[in-house]
Amino acid sequence: MEMRADVLIVGAGMVGSALALALRHSGLEILLLDGGPLSVKPFDEQAPFEPRVSALSAASQRILERLGAWEGIAKRRAAPYTDMHVWDGSGTGQIHFSAASVHAQVLGHIVENRVVQDGLLERLHDSDIGLLANARLEQLRRSGDEWLLTLADGRRLRAPLVVAADGANSAVRRLAGCETREWDYLHHAIVTSVRCSAAHQATAWQRFTDEGPLAFLPLLRDGKQDWCSIVWSTTPEQAEQLMALPDEAFRKALERAFEGRLGEVLEADPRVCVPLRQRHAKRYVDEGLALIGDAAHTIHPLAGQGVNLGFLDAAVLAEVLVNACERGERLADVKVLSRYERRRMPHNLALMAAMEGFERLFQANPLPLRWLRNSGLKLVEQMPEAKALFVRQALGLSGDLPDLAKA
């Protein structure tokens, strides 16, 4: 038997789930499918932190609030941060950003990806959106004016509009033949959670080492500020060595790389190593097809922006589809879908280019470039206006915002 929907969203990660919820009152028949289970895990406050976390911007928080998911996130675990410290490990340049500088309460929240996911899933289970768990897409082809999808277990689905929200290695993108521009950062990221002897002071810390950026992001449990999530981006060779170190040697290496800013590293959870690759789809849309989130773009985690861009993609695409519905337009029409691409691609590209430049500047060893970044950091540190601009950008509250992210 074949199932049919008006919009079929492949991938119920944070971004696909957000899109499905944003379309819940549209009157459209939505089907959201994922290769994994779609159950909500009971939350245990004492459970170790999940290694994958995201720094959610104020814009993402607003979107999640309007989708009804923020309450479930906040009642589980979310760590607000008010300040950010960035410094050059091979010089004296440093810069400090604060929420207070733009009269905001926080710069954002560090939240475990699983917590965000469960907050969204809770709302999805309360809605009448069709959910298909353990539904891995294997084949996709045009069939008349529609797409015909075949799952790994042989089930078949049909829809005039398919949205790829199936992550960085998107099967939809590959099967539909969408081209990408991509390159290796020649970086791997080691991700884990650590307990430090000094409090993190609700601050996100980032040190640029010769090998790559090392971030300590504040976590919160029982109101205590002693745990941080770390993202250590480094060369594949060093990552391999660090992954092989016994626990105590790893903690010491981490402490040294971080100049002991938060005292001793007393405990470290198991490490995960992720190869980093920048990817950007040349087009986000085609007839009956739209790419969102990591399926459309992946960006270096030093920006802490990946999922924030994804939530904006989801909110803009939902807005475009709902408006088109109201005007009686055909949603699968590439002219309709291009409105989404026109609003999101320039924004995503600009941020990716800025991060690329930043990353290269900090990777560079020639003396003039080291001097430039050191003096650059010192110069910007003395320019409150420039810093405020950066903070507003990080809050995600500037530019062409969808209604879901507006105040």
Task: Report how far residue 333's alpha carbon sits from residue 346's, in angstroms, rounded to the nearest whole number.
Answer: 21
If one asks whether residue 51 binds ligand FAD (CB under 6 A), the answer comes out as no
Least distance from ligand FAD to the Cβ atom of residue 186, Å: 15
Q: Residue holding tokens 């929907």?
A: 5
Least distance from ligand FAD to the Cβ atom of residue 54, Å: 4
For residue 86, CA distances in Å to 47, 340, 397 come to 30, 34, 22
If one asks whether residue 108 binds ligand FAD (CB under 6 A), the answer comes out as no
**Would you give the binding string for ligand FAD spanning residues 195-234, x where CB under 6 A is met?**
------------------------------------x---
If one asks whether residue 35 binds ligand FAD (CB under 6 A), the answer comes out as yes
Give, in degrees to the nearest 5, the angle at Cα 219 between 217 and 222. 165
Give, in degrees to the nearest 5, the angle at Cα 86 between 405 and 242. 105
If one asks whether residue 14 binds ligand FAD (CB under 6 A), the answer comes out as yes
If one asks whether residue 274 binds ligand FAD (CB under 6 A), the answer comes out as yes
**Backbone phi and psi for residue 282, each to the nearest 5 degrees, phi listed first:** -65, -35
Task: For ligand FAD, give the closer residue by CB, 88 or 313.
Answer: 313
If one asks whether residue 189 binds ligand FAD (CB under 6 A), the answer comes out as yes
What is the number of residues in the chain?
407
* C-beta separation of 397 from 347 below 8 A: no
Q: Of 28-36, 176-184, 344-352, 396-404, which part binds ligand FAD (CB under 6 A)?
A: 28-36
Work out the number of other CB atoms within 10 angstroms of the CB of residue 40: 15
Paired with 142 in beta bridges are 147
**Would you give the binding string for ligand FAD spanning residues 160-179, x where CB under 6 A is met?**
-----xxx---x--------
Q: Which residue in 8, 9, 13, 87 binds ligand FAD (CB under 6 A)?
A: 13
Q: Which residue in 72, 93, 119, 306 binds ligand FAD (CB under 6 A)?
A: 306
If one asks whether residue 307 binds ligand FAD (CB under 6 A), the answer comes out as yes
If one asks whether residue 308 binds ligand FAD (CB under 6 A), the answer comes out as yes
Amino acid identity, position 355: M
Q: Which of 277, 222, 302, 12 is nearest to 133 (CA)?
A: 12
Strands (E), 209-304: 213-218, 227-234, 265-268, 272-281, 285-286, 289-291, 297-298
If one asks whether residue 72 binds ligand FAD (CB under 6 A), the answer comes out as no
Q: Which residue in 6, 118, 255, 294 binds ligand FAD (CB under 6 A)?
A: 294
Binding site for ligand FAD (CB under 6 A): 10-16, 33-36, 54-55, 113, 136-137, 165-167, 171, 189, 191, 231, 274, 293-294, 301, 304-308, 310
